[in-house]
Amino acid sequence: MTSTRRTMKLGAFLPAPGHHVAAWRHPRSRPEGGLDFDYYRSLVQTAERGLFDMVFLSDGAGVRTHYKDADELSRQGRMVHFEPLTLLSALAVHTKHIGLTATASTTYNEPFHIARKFASLDHLSHGRAGWNVVTSATDAEARNFNLEQQPDHAARYHRAREFMEVVTGLWDSWEDDAFLYDKASGRFFDPAKLHVLGHRGEHFAVRGPLNVARPPQGHPVIVQAGSSADGQDFAAQWAEVVFTVQQTLDQAQTYRRGLRKQVEDHGRDPDGLKVMPGAFLVLGRTQAEAEDRFAELQDLVDPVLGMSLLTAQLGDVDLSGHDLDGPLPELPETGGSIGKQQVIYQQARSQGLTIRQVYQSVSAGRGHHRLVGTAESIADQLEDWFVNEGADGFNIMPDCLPDGLDQIVTLLVPELQRRGLMRTAYQGSTLRENLGLARPAHRATVVAR
């Protein structure tokens, strides 16, 4: 493999128990790991051994799960976990190469906080910070921030755009070589290399400068995962990595082609944005072993939880009183998504599935592309998407942790390396270098006065 060859970018998306909705109940999983630093250190060191570009931690400003009551909520497995920026700061000390990406919301933070924290993480990790920019999407979060309901979708993205102007402007408060620390002359920094932002906009009045020097990466890497039209346009303007949810190569190609075009329309180089669809992986040494592993997890889906997820997907259809091991009944018309309801219903009928099998099927991969197989068969599919321009890499979602990640690193990574699709050693030391992204030049522009 030559160093110039295009290789897959890989993220390790690591909620403590794994991605399968029932993973936390599996005998091998560590459901308490969300608040166990040694556990996370070992997970991230495994991902680094597997030469992943970055680890990714999702987050919300509260318990985001939709639930009817405490009984239903008590069956979910991801209620409590570390705040990701503090966790990544600690992990920075125990790793050397892997990128450290966390989610933070533009709706429930102030831009100065975010600019400062991610700049700080970038310095702590010597250039490995990434920020997954979200606008947040639940009223549950709004209720932790003095609101009854979240601001509407357009308003959230409107604020997010100005938020980005302020954050990136603050990161450019100082030129890269502004700090002299010159004891002899008494100059701590060169005053010509200070740029006070002086932002005054619709949502924010932020003077600056930031009280952190320019981040080692210039700007931490910007990640985004919104799929609405507004979300896509936001990604085209700002994102350098996009997490997506396409299910087929055809959909992935269409999405990536469209987004690259939008990136160009914003005057950016389309190669400056890496599209990484989620890949929910269930791996075995044989196909039968992978399928058994998946079946084991499916059998652990709690009926209360499974029925709640299915009911929501069917547009709040009441299925109480029906035998879980009997067929899905004829469905009434509802105000929900008729399209989605019909897809589920037709699939259930054509495959002769019981209600239990239907809820297992809808709850398994949380809407991400699911691959159940051997290292060879999964590598075949990832390669197909990668070489046919459906993806620049993948956000890898292990079914159950920690063993799902161990398997990926010992079985799948060597298979991808054998095919020349993955690096065999880290070449750079920053997240930008891992991803092949340019370091942004310093902009001395003042956004607004």
Ligand X SMILES: Cc1cc2nc3c(=O)[nH]c(=O)nc-3n(C[C@H](O)[C@H](O)[C@H](O)COP(=O)(O)O)c2cc1C
Instruction: Decide whether 31 or 60 has the Cβ nearer to ligand X.
Output: 60
Q: Shortest gap between Cβ of 361 and ligand X (angstroms)?
A: 20
Q: Shortest gap between Cβ of 64 and ligand X (angstroms)?
A: 7
Nearest residue to 1 (alpha-carbon basis) of 392, 422, 313:
422
User: For residue 340, how far is the Cα from the chain centroid?
Assistant: 24
Cβ distance 123 to 217 under 8 Å? no
Q: Shortest gap between Cβ of 222 and ligand X (angstroms)?
A: 13
Whether cis (ω within 30° of 0) applies to the bond prior to 440 is: no
Which range of residues in 134-142, 208-216, 398-406, 430-438 is near ligand X by CB under 6 A?
A: 134-142
Instruction: Decide whether 43 or 57 has the Cβ nearer to ligand X.
Output: 57
- Give the count of beta carbons closer than 10 Å to the beta carbon of residue 344: 21
SS3 357: helix
Q: Does residue 306 touch ligand X according to CB under 6 A?
A: no
Instruction: Decide whether 138 or 357 has the Cβ nearer to ligand X.
Output: 138
Q: Shortest gap between Cβ of 438 and ligand X (angstroms)?
A: 24
The Cα 356–Cα 431 span in angstroms is 43
Query: Which position among 278, 373, 402, 404 is part of the footprint of ligand X (CB under 6 A)?
Result: 278
The Cα 50–Cα 44 span in angstroms is 10
Q: Does residue 107 touch ligand X according to CB under 6 A?
A: no
Number of residues forming the site for ligand X (CB under 6 A): 19
Q: Does residue 136 touch ligand X according to CB under 6 A?
A: yes
| Residues in region 46-105 near ligand X by CB under 6 A | 58-60, 103
Cβ distance 54 to 100 under 8 Å? yes
Instruction: Decide whether 14 or 206 has the Cβ nearer to ligand X.
Output: 14
Instruction: Decide whether 173 or 244 has the Cβ nearer to ligand X.
Output: 244
How are beta strands 205-206 and 369-373 bridged, if at all?
unpaired
Q: Shortest gap between Cβ of 226 and ligand X (angstroms)?
A: 3
Q: Shortest gap between Cβ of 276 and ligand X (angstroms)?
A: 8
Q: Shortest gap between Cβ of 225 and ligand X (angstroms)?
A: 3
Question: Helix 249-265 vs helix 229-238: angle between axes, to the nearest 10 degrees?
Answer: 60
Nearest residue to 380 (alpha-carbon basis) of 347, 331, 419:
419
| Residues in region 242-261 near ligand X by CB under 6 A | 243, 245
| Residues in region 348-407 near ligand X by CB under 6 A | 395
DSSP state, 327?
A: B
Q: Where are the alpha helices (DSSP H) in 130-201?
A: 139-142, 153-171
Q: How far is CA 304 from CA 73, 317, 359, 429, in A?
A: 10, 15, 10, 46
Instruction: Decide whether 254 or 286 has the Cβ nearer to ligand X.
Output: 254
Query: Which position among 36, 41, 42, 137 is part of the footprint of ligand X (CB under 6 A)?
Result: 137
Instruction: Decide whether 153 or 439 has the Cβ nearer to ligand X.
Output: 153
Instruction: Decide whether 132 or 361 has the Cβ nearer to ligand X.
Output: 132
| Residues in region 214-233 near ligand X by CB under 6 A | 225-228, 230-231
Q: Does residue 134 touch ligand X according to CB under 6 A?
A: yes
Which range of residues in 17-25, 129-137, 287-295, 379-387 is near ligand X by CB under 6 A?
A: 129-137
Nearest residue to 114 (alpha-carbon basis) of 68, 43, 152, 61:
61
104's enclosing H/E stretch is strand 99-105
Nearest residue to 95 (alpha-carbon basis) of 50, 125, 123, 119:
125
217 phi/psi in degrees, rounded to 5: -85, 10
Residues at the interface with ligand X (CB under 6 A): 58-60, 103, 132, 134, 136-137, 153, 225-228, 230-231, 243, 245, 278, 395
